Amino acid sequence: MGDVMQQAYFITGTDTDVGKTFVTCLLLENIKRSGRNCFGLKPIAAGAIVTKEGLMNDDAQALLRQGSVALEYHDVNPICLQPAIAPHIAASLAGIQLRVSDLVANCRASIKKGLMVDTKAVTLIEGAGGWHVPVGASEFLSDMVIELQLPVILVIGMKLGCLNHAKLTVDAIESSGLRLAGWVANQVSPEKMPFFEENISAIKELIYAPCLGIVPYSPSAAISDVAHQLDIDNLN
């Protein structure tokens, strides 16, 4: 991992519900085990519960707990929307206009706050849904990543269609001029998809970036028990 800004990565997925948060938490755990501080950010989250402190999203709370740099919830998740639907639709229902420029500013502010604790801390920024999630009129979450020039880690949900989704996502990342730092295969259902190993081999042929690990289906497992499935030394 390079200098301060290069110690930030964006985690995207081939689709929604492919395990981005779980994988991000596994990555954070591995970073801590390597002796470095780290924190996770969720710039925008749709799907929240009302608390006395305001709206809170489960994924953002998981990132907050897993990081080793103390941040406030709002630093981790500046924009929290209640309905678990596409962010731009949830924002419209709430009377909020999403702008990529605001997302960029929020990320920079949160990263700056985290680095005030440790200038060498690693930042993992988790997206919402897949790569080209709309955030407003002709703007996409991927535009934020391009503006911040973040290397990308791709979480591939291992199910029928994943080869196509993975290749399309990688092509989109590359066409944006961004670097794919690595990918993680995540088993998203109790039963492995047919020809699981053959699909893994096919992905390795399709994607030049290193495989950081293959995560078994483990919805109730502790992060500490699964973290060994990943190898961050392979980060590109």
Q: Summarize pLDDT for 172-183 with one digit per residue, the tens.
A: 999 999 999 999
Residue 235 pLDDT class (50, 70, 90 cuts): confident
Stretch among 99-103, 135-139, 142-146, 178-182 having the lowest mean pLDDT: 135-139
Q: Is 15 helix (H, G, I), strand (E, B) or coil?
A: coil
Has residue 19 got a pLDDT over 60?
Answer: yes
* Average pLDDT over every residue of 39-61: 94
Percent of all residues in the chain with a pLDDT value above 90, rounded to a whole number: 90
Residue 57 predicted with pLDDT over 50: yes
**Active-site annotation holder among 20, 32, 42, 112:** 42
Residue 80 or 219, more confident: 80
Q: Inform me whether the pLDDT recorded for 47 exceeds 50.
A: yes
- Give dist(CA 57, CA 209) in Å, integer: 31
> Residue 44 is inside which H or E element, if any?
strand 44-46
Q: 236 pLDDT exceeds 70?
A: no
Residue range 24-51: mean pLDDT, rounded: 96
C-alpha span between 157 and 20 (Å, rounded): 9
Query: H or E segment at 163?
Result: helix 162-175
Distance CA 127, CA 41 (A): 9
Active site (annotated) includes residue 42: yes
- Please return the burial class of 50, using the count of CB atoms within 10 Å of its CB with bins 0-12, 13-18 and 19+: exposed
What is the reported pTM?
0.95
CB-based contacts of 206: which residues, under 8 Å, 6+ apart?
A: 163, 166, 167, 170
